[in-house]
């Protein structure tokens, strides 16, 4: 259930008997022919669908993240590292004050991963609180499913092309794009990155069947839900 569908009295009553909560984190950045909000859409949806049967509250998604590689693509918005870390830890402060002590961060954007260090530092000052950081798309079972479907998968390729991240009336290329030389890509400035990358897909097919995508999604939901129920100290 979403915090947006609760009032403060309901939150207080819920936290008194279940101290788990979820915080999705995404970004707003280019995803080739897909929505600029792919990472936020997917982080929120996997969090809400996984938490739903467990009646775990899901806080509003952080829709912006760390994405300096794509700043030359219109619509991309990046936060500074210090801003992202401060935002996440400030939100965690509020979640804990609300009575939640077991928190799952469902991260939908690889660029946000360095902020996990700020969470670990924050835990030093919040003894007794537990936080799990979950990169849902490359968690073991989900990533294994990606590889089983098609090992050539990357940013803005088929693996992020779900019915709910596509845009209406936008035709997808039917080619398999060669994989980007990532090592070289990471060395250069954003302008050169855009020249190297072109439309934004790192490599692979742009779209696969809905059957493939829904099968992948089911694995992601089940794996995320298991994280919410298992492994707490």
pLDDT, tens only, 30-39: 999 999 999 9
Provide the pLDDT confidence category of residue 112 given band limits of 50, 70 and 90.
Answer: very high
Domain ranges in the chain are: 3-229
Pick the CATH number of 3-229 from 3.20.20.70, 1.10.510.10, 3.40.50.10310, 2.102.10.10: 3.40.50.10310
Provide the pLDDT confidence category of residue 156 given band limits of 50, 70 and 90.
Answer: very high
Q: Beta 102-107 vs 176-177: how paired, if at all?
A: unpaired
CA distance 62 to 60: 7
CA distance 41 to 63: 9
């Amino acid at each position: 259930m979403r915090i947006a569908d609760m009032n403060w009295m309901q939150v207080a009553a819920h936290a008194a008997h279940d101290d788990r909560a979820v915080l999705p984190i995404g970004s707003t950045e280019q995803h080739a022919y897909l929505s600029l909000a792919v990472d936020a859409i997917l982080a929120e949806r996997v969090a809400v669908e996984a938490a739903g049967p467990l009646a775990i509250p899901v806080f509003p998604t952080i829709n912006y993240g760390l994405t300096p590689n794509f700043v030359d693509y219109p619509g991309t918005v990046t936060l500074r590292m210090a801003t992202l870390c401060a935002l996440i830890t400030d939100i965690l402060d509020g979640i804990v004050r609300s009575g939640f002590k077991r928190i799952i961060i469902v991260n939908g954007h690889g660029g946000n991963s360095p902020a996990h260090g700020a969470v670990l530092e924050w835990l030093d000052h919040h003894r007794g609180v537990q936080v799990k950081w979950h990169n849902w798309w490359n968690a073991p079972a989900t990533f294994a499913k990606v590889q089983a479907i098609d090992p050539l998968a990357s940013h803005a390729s088929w693996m992020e092309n779900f019915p709910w991240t596509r845009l209406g009336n936008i035709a997808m290329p039917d080619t398999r794009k060669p994989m980007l030389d990532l090592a070289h890509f990471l060395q250069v400035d954003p302008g050169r990155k855009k020249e190297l990358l072109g439309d934004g897909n790192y490599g692979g097919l742009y779209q696969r069947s809905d059957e493939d995508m829904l099968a992948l999604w089911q694995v992601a939901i089940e794996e995320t839900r298991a994280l919410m129920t298992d492994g707490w100290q």
